[in-house]
Amino acid sequence: MKRIAVLVSGGGTNLQALIDAQGSVLKSGKITLVVANNANAYALERAKKAGIETSVVLKKECGSQAAFEERLKEVLTEHQIDIIVLAGFMTILTENFTNCYPKRILNVHPSLIPSFCGEGFYGLRVHQAALDYGVKVTGATVHFVNEIPDGGEIIAQKAVCIEDGDTPETLQRRVMEQAEWVLLPQAAEKVCKELL
Ligand code: GAR
């Protein structure tokens, strides 16, 4: 089985979807490490409950983006990680990091790329932008990560309808339930299986 690291910053519902998919949808990979860039991320509790090793890497303790990325690489190497999944990891990684893992880093983004993506589009801001624009359909995308924010090759997408009266919060929840939590485990399985 391929060894998966999941990188998180917050609540970790996408991490939970991956944990819950282990042994069913996710058969060719095993989550062996969860790394957070925020010591208070609830995702760390989810990992601990599932018996998964955790690590916290803080940019401010590392001193610079370059040192932060070097520390991340060290932790991933120590754990012999094959595949990295960014699941609500709210920091941009530069080419110094992404070039080390070509087609080995996946990200889930809460819109249909190329809409509402790139620098500054994360979390609820993405859903606010979709509502402000007035689109009637949005969704989620899982893609490979390269040096361009949200610019790597698309692996999977799923559309979700916007409903009258939606707020960023109600839309976020629907996109997670109908798209992100379904797509991410499927995409992780596809990538792991192809590498086996
Ligand atoms: C998810 O909606 C994810 O798609 C989004 O943040 C949320 C994290 O939730 N990611 C981005 O916006 C990345 N640009 P979670 O911590 O509950 O998985």
CA atoms of 103 and 133, how far apart (whole Å): 32
Residues 19-43 pLDDT 10s = 999 999 999 999 999 999 999 999 9
What pLDDT is recorded for position 95?
98
Average pLDDT over residues 168-180: 98
What pLDDT is recorded for position 153?
98
The CATH number of whichever domain residue 14 belongs to comes to 3.40.50.170
Residue 157's domain spans which residues? 2-195
Q: Closest Cα to residue 9, out of 70, 53, 59?
A: 59
Q: Is 143 a catalytic residue?
A: no
DSSP secondary structure letters along 128-195: HHHHHHT-SEEEEEEEE--SSTT-SPEEEEEEEE--TT--HHHHHHHHIIIIIHHHHHHHHHHHHHHH
- Is residue 184 lining ligand 1, measured as CB closer than 6 Å? no
| Ligand 1 closest atom vs CA 126 | 12
Q: Closest Cα to residue 186, out of 64, 33, 27?
A: 27
In this structure, which residue's CA is closest to atom 10 in ligand 1?
88
What pLDDT is recorded for position 13?
98
What total number of domains does the chain contain? 1
> 167: which residues sit within 8 A by CB, 6+ positions away?
131
Residues 94-149 pLDDT 10s = 999 999 999 999 999 999 999 999 999 999 999 999 999 999 999 999 999 999 99
- Is residue 151 lining ligand 1, measured as CB closer than 6 Å? no
In this structure, which residue's CA is closest to atom 9 in ligand 1?
88
Q: What does pTM read for this prediction?
A: 0.98
Average pLDDT over residues 5-12: 98
Average pLDDT over residues 64-78: 98
Average pLDDT over residues 166-170: 98
Helix (H) or strand (E) holding 47: helix 42-49
- Counting residues of the chain whose pLDDT is more than 90, the rounded percentage is 99
- Is residue 110 lining ligand 1, measured as CB closer than 6 Å? yes
Q: How far is the CA of 108 from the centre of ligand 1 (A)?
A: 7
Give the Cβ contact number of residue 83 at 10 Å.
Answer: 21
What pLDDT is recorded for position 12?
98
What single letter denotes the amino acid at residue 49? K
What pLDDT is recorded for position 5?
99
| Ligand 1 closest atom vs CA 175 | 2
Average pLDDT over residues 3-31: 98
